[in-house]
Amino acid sequence: MSSPIKTNASIPAKQSEHALAQKSRASALERADADRAQQRRINYARIDVNASKWRYVTSTQ
Residue 8 within a domain: no
Number of domains the chain contains = 1
Residue 25 within a domain: yes
34: containing domain: 18-42
C-alpha–C-alpha distance, residues 58 and 45, integer Å: 27
C-alpha–C-alpha distance, residues 40 and 51, integer Å: 19
pTM confidence score: 0.52
How does pLDDT run across 1-60, given as a tens digit for each residue? 566 666 555 555 567 989 999 999 999 999 999 999 999 998 888 877 666 666 666 666
Does residue 42 sit in helix, strand or coil?
helix
Residue 34 within a domain: yes
C-alpha–C-alpha distance, residues 24 and 32, integer Å: 12
Residue 33 within a domain: yes
Residue 6 within a domain: no
C-alpha–C-alpha distance, residues 25 and 33, integer Å: 12
Residue 25: predicted pLDDT: 96
Q: Which amino acid is at 21?
A: A
